[in-house]
């Protein structure tokens, strides 16, 4: 019991000594830590932003279907640690916002790259296959309408 009291007294004396040494700069340092702590809390508890933002402007419904499928596919790929392919899909969707034809071609190329992808989980692999097929079908339909590629 006496050892515990002596240990607590020694720890208290060391803590007081550190506070005296830190002196006047301590409140300034604590104020500097407040924004850092606030930023960390915001990053930990903030909802995740959507993987893809739909391009602004009036787009054809078929193009919107392709964008929705690409968004879902990019989220799934990101969850499977396939950042490169997810980035290609996001880039293609951004291109659709500025130039629909080039964006559709880029989306088609990215969807073709996904075709050869192998994921360890069977359920995830099947979902990737289904989403990639939805993207390819929607892109093919819209590209046929715009006469971009001889798809079918």
39 and 73 belong to one structural domain: no
Judge whether 52 lies within some domain. Answer: no
- 132: nearest Cα among 115, 109, 107, 118: 115
Same domain, residue pair 106 and 82: yes
Domain assignment of residue 80, yes or no: yes
Q: How far is the C-alpha of 91 from the C-alpha of 82, rounded, in Å?
A: 15
Assess if residue 107 is contained within a domain.
yes
Q: Which range of residues forms the domain containing residue 24?
A: 2-45
Task: Judge whether 23 lies within some domain.
Answer: yes
Q: Residue 100: CB partners within 8 Å, gap ≥ 6?
A: 59, 60, 63, 142, 146
Give pLDDT, residue 56.
52
Question: Does 50 have pLDDT greater than 60?
Answer: no
In this structure, is residue 54 part of a structural domain? Answer: no
Question: What is the mean pLDDT of the segment spanning 90-108?
Answer: 85
* Statement to judge: residues 28 and 75 lie in one domain: no
Mean pLDDT of 52-81: 77
**Residue 30 belongs to some domain of the structure:** yes
pLDDT at residue 152 in the model: 47
CA gap 17, 53 in Å, rounded: 54
């Amino acid at each position: 019991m006496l050892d515990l009291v002596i240990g607590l007294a020694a720890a208290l004396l060391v803590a007081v000594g550190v506070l005296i040494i830190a002196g006047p700069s301590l409140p300034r340092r604590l104020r500097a830590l407040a924004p850092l702590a606030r930023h960390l809390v915001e990053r930990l508890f903030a909802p995740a932003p959507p993987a893809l933002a739909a391009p602004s402007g009036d787009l054809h419904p078929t193009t919107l279907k392709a964008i929705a499928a690409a968004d879902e596919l990019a989220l799934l790929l990101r969850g499977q640690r396939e950042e490169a392919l997810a980035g290609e899909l996001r880039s293609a969707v951004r291109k659709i916002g500025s130039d629909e034809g080039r964006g559709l071609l880029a989306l088609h190329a990215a969807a073709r790259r996904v075709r050869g992808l192998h994921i360890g989980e069977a359920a995830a692999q099947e979902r990737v296959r289904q989403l990639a097929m939805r993207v390819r079908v929607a892109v093919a339909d819209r590209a046929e309408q715009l006469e971009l590629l001889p798809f079918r």
